[in-house]
Homo-oligomer: A and B are copies of this chain.
Amino acid sequence: MRSVKVLPNTATEAQLPASDSSPENPFVARPPSSREKILEVAESLFAVGGYAGVGMRQIAASVGLSKSSLFHHFPTKLELYAEVLDRVIERLELGLCGEAAHPGKAADQLDHWIASIVGTLAESAPAARLLLRALVDDDPFPAIEFQPTDREPMSFEIRLDRVIDRFRTLLEEGIADGVFRPVSVGDAIQSTIGAIVFHFASGDLGEALIGEPIFSGSAVDRRRREVSEFIRRGLLA
């Protein structure tokens, strides 16, 4: 149903370089385009309410636009949601891409991996929840009645699969080298994802458990150390 989706998005794309070329402008540090504002607001709202739990009116009101204007930037609610998810996975990829230059032993690579993902998830509160919802909600979106039998995989899903595949390779090589225990790779991935992502999605419960806001600097630093050590020991031979 949805086409290949090369969204026009000309405004943002064309505006950014132009503004960038005059970096001395002291006023209005890049007034975020409406499109960008919509995406950010939608991200935080979808994170706490889920796809079905947030209405276009609510998003519009939070942005400060009318509902009609939302549909001027995004053809449907589903496309808006898809683009929100895309932004999340893109940030993850970006962080991992920076770490990809880190060659070395599998154990070190694992550390960099975990540090990168923890860092990315800690940067924006909605990310982990969105990710967890997307992983748990069957297929792509919750509660869609019709199953088009052969739904196209959606950008978000294939990109996520690619990330997970790279992690699987990391584990398999580590096992082959004798660095990691001969674990069931699939189960190890599941345990790792759960341990890392859940924490930053756990909201009030997590805050109650660790005794301070999840996203505070000290909590994030400690989390990085703790979960890294936890997973290292869980995997190392």
Q: Closest approach, in angstroms, between the C-beta of A84 and any C-beta of chain B? A: 16
A-B contact pairs, 26 of them (CB 8 A): A48-B138, A50-B50, A50-B52, A50-B53, A51-B53, A54-B143, A129-B136, A132-B198, A135-B198, A135-B202, A136-B202, A139-B204, A184-B210, A186-B210, A186-B211, A187-B223, A187-B230, A190-B198, A190-B210, A191-B230, A191-B231, A193-B194, A194-B194, A194-B197, A194-B198, A234-B234
Residues of B within 8 A of A48 (CB): 137-138, 142-143
Count contacts on A: residues with CB < 8 A to the other chain: 57
Residues of B within 8 A of A129 (CB): 136
Interface string of A128-164 (1 = CB under 8 A from B): 0100110111110011000000000000000001001
Q: Any chain B CB within 8 A of the CB of A60?
A: no
Interface positions of A (Cβ within 8 A of B):
48-54, 129, 132-133, 135-139, 142-143, 161, 164, 168, 183-184, 186-199, 201-206, 208-211, 222-223, 226-227, 229-231, 233-236
Q: A183-B226, A184-B210, A201-B136 are in contact. Are A143 and B50 (CB under 8 A)?
A: yes
